């Protein structure tokens, strides 16, 4: 069953704690992306990776970190430096530039 898996679906954390969101894909896509979505808003790019062991900052990378040790996995860590971490986080992949991105089901993170 091919696709993108994000876990967990809902995540709750206390302020000041780091938290890591999981994204796994078995589509054999080279590129992976992390987006953040706030209520009533569009998607904003946090980080993206075109190839294993390489990644670039997106438009709102401050307070976040990523790694790409395997083609299938692109975990996102929301650090305590992120001022407003409560949001819906979406992972996406695509095969190459200029093709559609496929999205995972998302993780809703709530920090109190």
What is the rounded CA–CA span in Å between residue 16 and residue 91? 23
Which pair of tokens denotes residue 75?
A: 């975990």
Q: Which of 2, 14, 15, 98 binds another protein (CB under 8 A)?
A: 98
Q: Would you list the DSSP string of 1-12?
A: --SEEEE-SEEE
Could you tell me which of 22, 21, 29 has the C-alpha nearest to residue 2?
Answer: 29
* Closer by beta carbon to another protein, 45 or else 75: 45
What is the rounded CA–CA span in Å between residue 14 and residue 6? 21
- Relative to beta strand 107-111, strand 10-13 is parallel
Subset of residues 51 to 70 that bind another protein, contact rule: CB under 8 A: 56, 58
* Closer by beta carbon to another protein, 85 or else 106: 106
CB 55, min distance to another protein, A: 11
Q: Which of 18, 28, 105, 110 binds another protein (CB under 8 A)?
A: 105
Stretch that binds another protein, among 20-28, 63-71, 76-84, 103-111 (CB under 8 A): 103-111
Binding site for another protein (CB under 8 A): 4, 31, 33, 40-45, 48, 50, 56, 58, 90, 92, 94, 96-106, 108
């Amino acid at each position: 069953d091919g696709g993108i898996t994000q876990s967990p679906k809902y995540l709750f954390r206390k302020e000041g704690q780091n938290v890591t969101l999981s994204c796994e894909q078995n589509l054999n896509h080279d590129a992976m992306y992390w987006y953040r979505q706030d209520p009533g808003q569009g998607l904003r790019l946090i980080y993206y990776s075109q190839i294993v062991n390489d990644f670039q900052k997106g438009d709102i990378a401050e307070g976040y970190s990523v790694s790409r040790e395997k083609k299938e996995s692109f975990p996102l860590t929301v650090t305590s430096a992120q001022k407003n971490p409560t949001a819906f986080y979406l992972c996406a992949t695509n095969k190459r530039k200029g093709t559609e991105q496929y999205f995972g089901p998302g993780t809703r993170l709530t920090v109190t």
